[in-house]
Structure 1
Amino acid sequence: MPADVDNAFDIAFWFADMALQENEYLQPQKLQRLMFIAQAYYCVAYNGRKLMPAVFIADELGPIEPNVYTAFSKGRPDVDARLFLPHEVESFLTGIWRRFGHYTTDRLSKMVRETTAYKQAFKRGNRAEILLDEMQLSFARAEQTPGVNQVVKPKIMRTQAG
């Protein structure tokens, strides 16, 4: 299934820019957790659709996307990223940021390491791939994470009549 954005860097830069706007330092591990959470909730909220073409692996510290992790290891990489994401994606990411952006890296790491998806992948071996289907199932069940309706709020449109 194709992803709704071209690459994982678009999502990484979006989170990095949000942190910058709010004068918050975004630790590399926190960025990884936010990207993992975004991919999982997007899959739940949009019936299996993929937010970004990314492969997450179960590292001992928590889930990481190894390409983005390596690229950001020495700071923000010089990569051409989209300035504007599709409105639906941007609204979704805003919900993720509002819900989880203020969490500490440790809190996010603890939360995602408790998910069934992470545990199953880590049991297969350190740095084993975390399958999208497992992420979707784990976050849909909301075992160790908030339910999708607590994260992604539906937009309410009002007319002039109210």
Structure 2
Amino acid sequence: MAHPPLTPSGFEPTFWLLDRALDDNEYLNPRKLHRLLYLAQAYFAVANAGHKLIPATFIADPDGPLEPTLFKAFSYSRPRVDLAKIPEPAETLLDSIWRRFGAHSTEHLTKSLKRHPPYADAYAEAPGAEITIEGMVAFYGRKPTEREGIGALTDRGAPHIEHVLRPRVMRSQSGRPVNVHQWRPRSLKDQ
């Protein structure tokens, strides 16, 4: 059974990231924006059994992962569109992506992502080929080895989802704050 993407369009997460950058007194250039959206789509799919965050297709552009519809929509300026309220799980994910990867330079993000198999395989097929959600889940959902740099975004690996998603802080029965993560059953190959 097909599940709809969490957000009704790619505009909601895009505007969220742009506004978050402004709140942090940063300029978010289009290249970096697309790298962060790509990572958000990938990690959301990992955390949610292959479901998409946004109804979008990322392609292996010669410059790096790119969502062509959003790229064209923002080509001259910030478009005027009616936005839906962004769901809380999307906001939590985007906040985690921003905190984990937002400090990286555009060049670092581009260099690393272009060497990751989802992008590299699609680009080897043909420049402009679609980067599949299955490829994203397979690569970003695995546990990296020490050689790849556990917890780091490198050209050989990416942090495991547990190092990306911020835990929610809830209160125990005694009122003490505790971190909680969404339960994700282990796959058969992890056992």
Per the normalisation by structure 1, the TM-score is 0.94
User: Matched residue pairs, number?
Assistant: 161
Name the structure 2 match of 1:66.
68
Name the structure 2 match of 1:159.
172
The structural deviation recorded for 1:160 is 6.0
Alpha-carbon distance in structure 1 between the residues aligned to 2:77 and 2:23? 17
Classify the secondary structure of the residue corresponding to 1:36.
Answer: helix
CA-to-aligned-CA distance 1:56-113 (integer Å, 9 cap, x gap): 000011010000011111121112222x311111111111110011111101111211
Q: Name which of 20, 45, 48 aligns with 1:46.
A: 48
Is 1:14–2:16 an aligned residue pair?
Answer: yes
Per the normalisation by structure 2, the TM-score is 0.80
Name the structure 1 match of 2:160.
147
Alpha-carbon distance in structure 1 between the residues aligned to 2:108 and 2:131? 20
Could you tell me which amino acid in structure 2 is paired with residue 13 of structure 1? F
Alpha-carbon distance in structure 2 between the residues aligned to 1:155 and 1:100? 19
- Please show how residues 1-150 of structure 1 align to structure 2 within 5 Å: 1=2, 2-82=4-84, 84-141=85-142, 142=144, 144-150=157-163
Could you tell me which amino acid in structure 1 is paired with residue 74 of structure 2? F
Alpha-carbon distance in structure 1 between the residues aligned to 2:158 and 2:26? 23
Unmatched tracts of structure 2, length 5 or more:
145-155, 177-191
Unmatched tracts of structure 1, length 5 or more:
none
Larger Rg belongs to: 2
Higher helix share: 1
Classify the secondary structure of the residue corresponding to 1:53.
Answer: coil
Could you tell me which amino acid in structure 2 is paired with residue 96 of structure 1? I
The answer to which structure, 1 or 2, has the higher relative contact order (CA under 8 A, 6+ apart) is 1
Moved over 2 A (4+): none
- The Cα RMSD (Å) is 1.3
Percent identity, please: 42
